Amino acid sequence: MATNWTTKQNKKFEEALVIYDKDNSVDKWHNIARYVGGKSVEEVRRYYDLLVKDITQIENGQVPLPNYRTTETTNARGYATEQRLLKNLKLQ
């Protein structure tokens, strides 16, 4: 059964993966669950397994990349172009 994850829990999950990346102890998933808060060890493991599955599908080209609109002031990622940023910095 899937559980809902808040944006804050997702961020904490990502942070915990970095913090406990090299932890090979039996407590790794307990530590990650404790860091995230409000999730069981099993929920954290399932969430991790889904993340790995998603990454594998992306790397294998099974998930299409989004088609971002581009405009004169933004690049394909939706950020202001470097020239525009530099111009704004010089004006300040």
Residue 45's contacts (CB-CB under 8 Å, 6 or more residues apart) are: 29
Going residue by residue through the chain, which has 92 residues, state the pLDDT in tens, using 9 for 90 and above.
Answer: 457 999 999 999 999 999 998 989 989 999 999 999 999 999 999 999 999 999 999 888 888 877 777 655 555 555 555 555 555 565 54
* DSSP-assigned states of every residue in 3-24: ----HHHHHHHHHHHHHTTT--
pLDDT of residue 14: 95
pTM over 0.85: no
